[in-house]
Structure formats: C-alpha cells, structure tokens
Structure 1
C-alpha cells in the first residue's frame, strides 16, 4: 500500500504544479485553493509512504513523478515545446525512477 500512496502523492504533485501555474502567482482564488489542498495531500501521502519506503527512494520517486508528469502536462495542456533534448531528459528521469524502484525491492 505505501507504493500506492506514493504514486497518488506524485499525481497530486502534478496537479498542484499545474494549478499553481494556473493561479498566476496565487492571484486567482480557485487555482490557488486547488494548489494548496493538493500540496497538503501530496505531502501527507508522501509522509505516510515514508513510514515504510526509505527516504531516498520515496523522495526521488515522488519528485520524479512530479517532474515527468509536469513535463507531459506542459506539453499536452500548455503547448510547451517538444524537442529531442527535452524528451531525452524526461526519458532519463523516468529510467532513474524505474531503477530506484527496482533497487529498493
């Protein structure tokens, strides 16, 4: 179950990053509220997952899910650029997440 909590925490990190962007520097109420609520949920689930999963593994996977997810959301929803170097960087991050998970089993 800790891995499920960690995955959900990572997804919430993507949501809060996107809603933070939509809040325009916390000047819009609804996206700002969504940012704060999902931040709290993400941190709480990360903390729960860390009861079992080692710090280095949990934190690396949590930030990696957020980084790759935010990258994909940026492309899909915000029209951010797609190029070979950005895809290679995201692929390396995802590869690191897989290696971190496999090495912690």
Structure 2
C-alpha cells in the first residue's frame, strides 16, 4: 500500500482544511487517460470502490488501478510558489 511522507500528509491536510471543503474530503488518485498516467485532485469524498488511506488525518482515495500502481510506492509533496507538486517514488527498503 502507498505510504505518505510527512510533507505529503501536511500538504494534503492543508488542502482539505480550506474553507468550503467538506470534512470528509481527501485527495483522489485515479488512472489517467495515458499509459501509466495518474490524475490527482481534491474531492469531497471517495467514489464507490475507492480504497481509502488515512495517515494522520490526511485522506487519500485510490481507484483500483492506482492501488496496484502505487502498491510499493511513497507519495511525497512539495509547495513551491503556491503550487503543490506530488511525486511518487519507490518506498525505501
């Protein structure tokens, strides 16, 4: 299962704590249109069939293909010039 770095946890919590965002909101990662592509976005809640990862209050919803693609990965995040960037890396052994 994908793990979240401390940076990712903090930024996901900030994104989902904004005014007007529902309490059950989280970051959804799903398969994109290209081979190996993933889409990422803040959503109000999981879709049917999503797997939910909750790490210290940072909620991530994964579709079935994203679960498989990120099984042995780590999700990191960075904030630069007001833009959040997510990076997927192999989980350290």
Is the shorter-chain TM-score for this pair beyond 0.5, marking a shared fold? no
Higher strand share: 2
Q: TM-score normalised to the size of structure 2?
A: 0.29
